[in-house]
Structure 1
Amino acid sequence: MTAVLLSLRPRYARAILAGTKTAEVRRRFPHQPPGTTLYLYSSTPDRAVLGTAQLDVIDRPSADRVWTLYQDQIDIEKTALGEYLSDLEAAAILRINDVRRWRHPVPLRDLRLHLGIEAPQSFRYLTDEHIGLLETIRAREPLGLSYSVAGA
């Protein structure tokens, strides 16, 4: 199984989970096959994996065409997009589908404790062992602990 832990700012993670953002803009991203599972890690203040999405396809348009082609899918302001892509010739647009919000987010402390991994700055590959552990952790009911995601 091909899987990637994708780090997102909370605003964008929530937009993906709400269905208002159906494509993620990256300055660069390695080639991945359609169907790759994207584990959605929301950075500070959430610091947790909130759910998954499936990679449909990665488009690689010229940076100056991203707004024209994807403005209705990327949920980012034009000025911010221009600044983010300002020094690039091409961008990576991850078109996603089959988004699933988890009932119980998996906090960073569990990634560290049970998987032995840190949150990525952009992304990191997950092994089959990581995936199995992550799925086991997320499926369990919290043991009297409450955890909420900021702004959720």
Structure 2
Amino acid sequence: MKVLLSIKPEYAESILDGSKHFEFRKSIFKREGVEKVVIYATMPVGKVVGEFDVDGVLAMEPRKLWKETKENAGISHNFFRSYFSGKDKGFAIKVKNPRRYDTPCALNEVIPNGVAPQSYRYL
């Protein structure tokens, strides 16, 4: 199963260039069996730019999550703390085999209504 994730362009680029090994989320997929993530780079890019395989999901208290992921987080500790402020649990999707599309595509080529998901959408 695949999901579409909306990701800020700078983080999408870091995933695709191999420097960001985790995608952090405040909430995670409800369904099991998600094997691939399709990356929608939000505005100003506004395109579906690539995908990666899911190599597992870490779910834990944010302080522990940072200790586990900080070496390859691809974000600053300040951003991480701000993002998870007030949360008891955080999630980190492990990125495996990131692939950049040769030609980025419009969102309406992937989902019929062409509306970007706030968090994720099953494909």
> Same fold by TM (over 0.5)?
yes
C-alpha distance in structure 1 between counterparts of 2:119 and 2:27, whole Å: 10
Larger Rg, first or second structure (1 or 2): 1
Q: Is the 8 A contact 1:111 1:118 kept in 2?
A: no
Q: Is the 8 A contact 1:17 1:100 kept in 2?
A: yes
Q: Aligned residues, how many?
A: 122
Matching residue's letter, 2:45: D
Structure 2 unmatched runs, 5+: none
2:113 to 101, 111, 116: 116
Q: CA deviation at 1:99?
A: 0.9
Aligned-residue Cα RMSD (Å) equals: 1.5
Q: Which has the higher contact order (CA 8 A, sep 6+)?
A: 2
Matching residue's letter, 1:66: L
Q: What SS does the aligned partner of 2:82 have?
A: helix
The equivalent of 1:125 in structure 2 is 122
Matching residue's letter, 2:33: P
Instruction: Give the TM-score of the pair, scaled to structure 1.
Output: 0.75
Q: What SS does the aligned partner of 2:102 have?
A: strand
The equivalent of 1:135 in structure 2 is none
The equivalent of 1:86 in structure 2 is 85
Q: Which runs of 4+ in 1 moved over 4 A?
A: none
Structure having the higher strand fraction is: 2
Instruction: Give the TM-score of the pair, scaled to structure 2.
Output: 0.91
Structure 1 unmatched runs, 5+: 127-152
